[in-house]
């Protein structure tokens, strides 16, 4: 026995702890990267929800225009004047078509805002994970230093 055994054991223990701390930091960093990636996906989902809602609303408006044109054509062929009840029917069709288009836009906006909230949540989690990396490493290395000092 040379008397250096406790010092060697403390050094090996410190090295092992340091490797473990670095590994944990790398895992946390990877987790934060994944959360940022999820946030980007949700931002894209929000954009796509708005785009899809816009297209759906435009399609609904076009359908409404066609229905109104058919109704006008039918009224014209029948010989009725475009006043009174026939006009009220056309107005009701126009209102219904626009209401449907606005509903599609509103639903798209609700979906987009949900995706944006999920993106914000993912970024929050990523930032929380990142902020814990430095503090965790500092704590681990202070513990390692304490263990080495205790062995001396």
Please check whether residue 93 is in contact with residue 67, taking contact to mean a CB–CB distance below 8 angstroms: yes
pLDDT at residue number 71: 83
Model confidence pLDDT, tens digit, residues 77-112: 877 766 667 778 888 888 999 999 999 999 999 999
- Which token pair is 46? 């929000």
Check: pTM over 0.75? Answer yes or no.
Answer: no
């Amino acid at each position: 026995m040379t008397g250096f055994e406790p010092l060697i054991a403390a050094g090996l223990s410190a090295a092992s702890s340091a490797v473990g701390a670095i590994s944990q930091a790398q895992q946390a960093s990877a987790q934060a990267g994944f959360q940022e990636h999820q946030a980007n996906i949700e931002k894209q989902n929000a954009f796509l929800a708005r785009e899809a809602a816009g297209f759906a609303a435009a399609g609904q408006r076009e359908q409404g225009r066609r229905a109104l044109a058919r109704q006008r054509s039918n009224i014209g062929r029948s010989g009725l004047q475009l006043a009174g009840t026939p006009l009220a029917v056309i107005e009701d069709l126009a209102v219904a078509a626009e209401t449907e288009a606005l509903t599609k836009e509103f639903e798209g906006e609700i979906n987009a805002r949900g995706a944006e909230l999920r993106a914000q949540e993912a970024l929050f989690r990523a930032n929380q994970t990142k902020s814990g990396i430095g503090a965790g490493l500092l704590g681990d290395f202070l513990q390692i230093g304490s263990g080495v000092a205790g062995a001396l």
